């Protein structure tokens, strides 16, 4: 966890609404390239129209039948995943070195924040050392993938809330054939994405060590 003297004074929580993937991806890259030692950290939350994203290690055989859903090549780690309406995506624009976190430490913060959300509603989630993300039983409820550039992160995590899970059957999720995928609604937790995002952002902020916040809407 970050210490009070290792971060900027406040964390910006930026709501983007529902937006196409490509402009948000470009904005993350631009924000990270332009930031300096004094740039405050930001968490962006967004819902995307249906899209598959294929990470740097992505292999074509994990795209089974994408059909009419576009596939975007991206510069995060990992394989292929799906984003769509009813899923909360949080992009983590963080100065990881300033926070005093290792890459593994940041992954743990992201996973712990989802596990905390689930626990608050009586659901036992867990992380797996061999496959980043959060699982309930053997089913994955949250995925994560990051890119670090000069000690600063972008990309982040996605939490399945109340969505159509069918597109996950068109891929090997995160490169794992037959991996089961679940969502909060199927776990008996009836939250709208906005409510799930509010809880998740609060957990992330706390686990990153922040107590002061700024809020913004739209891309920077």
- Sequence ranges of the binding site for substrate: 76-83, 143-145, 156-158
- Tokens at residue 151, please? 């000690």
The residues annotated with a catalytic role in the active site are 174
User: What residues are designated binding site?
Assistant: 76-83, 143-145, 156-158
Q: How far is CA 187 from CA 24, 36, 70, 179, in A?
A: 30, 42, 28, 17
């Amino acid at each position: 966890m970050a210490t009070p003297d290792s971060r900027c004074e406040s964390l910006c929580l930026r709501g983007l609404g529902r937006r196409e993937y490509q402009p948000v991806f470009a904005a993350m890259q631009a924000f990270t390239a332009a930031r300096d030692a004094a740039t405050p950290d930001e968490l962006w939350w967004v819902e995307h129209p249906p899209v598959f994203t294929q990470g740097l290690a992505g292999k074509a055989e994990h795209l089974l039948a994408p059909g009419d859903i576009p596939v975007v090549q991206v510069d995060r780690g990992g394989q292929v995943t799906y984003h769509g309406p009813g899923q909360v995506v949080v992009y983590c624009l963080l100065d990881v070195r300033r926070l005093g976190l290792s890459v593994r430490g940041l992954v743990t913060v992201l996973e712990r924040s989802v596990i905390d959300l689930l626990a608050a509603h009586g659901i036992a989630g867990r992380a797996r050392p061999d496959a980043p993300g959060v699982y309930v039983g053997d089913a994955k409820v949250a995925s994560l993938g990051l890119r670090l550039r000069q000690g600063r992160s972008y990309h982040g995590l996605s939490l399945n809330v109340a969505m159509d899970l069918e597109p996950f059957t068109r891929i090997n999720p995160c490169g794992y054939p037959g991996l089961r995928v679940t969502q909060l609604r199927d776990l008996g937790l009836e939250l709208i994405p906005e409510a799930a995002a509010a809880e998740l952002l609060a957990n992330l902020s706390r686990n990153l060590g922040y107590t002061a916040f700024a809020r913004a809407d739209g891309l920077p």
